[in-house]
């Protein structure tokens, strides 16, 4: 009889681990945000390069136009969401304590929300001022 390298778990041990399909949704979300971030990153760099050498009034005028403001906002939203899902995956994989995992996931969500809101506020303040 050959040695089975993968130990089998009983039903009592696997009940709190969740569905085997639970990671598929996050994997698809990571792929979708990665693909969305490709053109948005080019747009972000293009906007950033167009702002080099401009004074505050020039930056406000540039971000007051709809296209650059929308590209920046979409870049922020996609980037922050991508960061949140990526960190959630790392937390799920490497933190094994239930309470530690819960606290880390809450901290991850709060940090991503704070970064996203601060970034969106900055773009809107410059664009609408």
**pLDDT tens readout for residues 23-45:** 788 889 999 999 999 999 999 99
Domains in the chain: how many in total?
1
For every residue of 36-89, DSSP letters joined together read HHHHHHHHHHHHHHHHTT--HHHHHHHHTSHHHHHHHHHHHHHHHHHHHHHHHH
Q: What is the CATH number of the domain that holds 97?
A: 1.20.1300.10
Residue 63 falls within a domain, yes or no?
A: yes
**pLDDT tens readout for residues 53-72:** 999 999 999 999 999 999 99
| pLDDT over 60 at 12, yes or no | no
**pLDDT tens readout for residues 93-112:** 999 999 999 999 999 999 99
In the block, tokens 């506020």 appear at 121
Percent of the chain with pLDDT over 70: 82
Compute the distance between CA of residue 42 and CA of residue 103 in angstroms, rounded to an integer: 35
Residue 39 falls within a domain, yes or no?
A: yes
Compute the distance between CA of residue 90 and CA of residue 34 in angstroms, rounded to an integer: 17
C-alpha of 1 from chain center: 47
Residue 9 falls within a domain, yes or no?
A: no
| pLDDT over 70 at 116, yes or no | yes
């Amino acid at each position: 009889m050959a040695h089975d390298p993968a130990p089998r778990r009983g039903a009592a041990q696997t009940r709190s681990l969740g569905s085997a399909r639970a990671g598929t949704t996050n994997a698809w979300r990571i792929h979708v945000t990665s693909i969305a971030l490709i053109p948005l990153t080019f747009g972000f760099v293009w906007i950033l390069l167009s702002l080099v050498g401009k004074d505050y009034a020039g930056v406000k005028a540039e971000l007051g136009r709809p296209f650059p403001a929308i590209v920046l906002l979409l870049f922020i939203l996609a980037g922050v969401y991508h960061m949140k899902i990526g960190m959630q995956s790392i937390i799920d994989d490497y933190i094994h304590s239930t309470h530690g995992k819960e606290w880390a996931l809450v901290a991850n969500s709060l940090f991503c929300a704070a970064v996203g809101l601060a970034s969106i506020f900055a773009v809107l303040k410059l664009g609408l001022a």
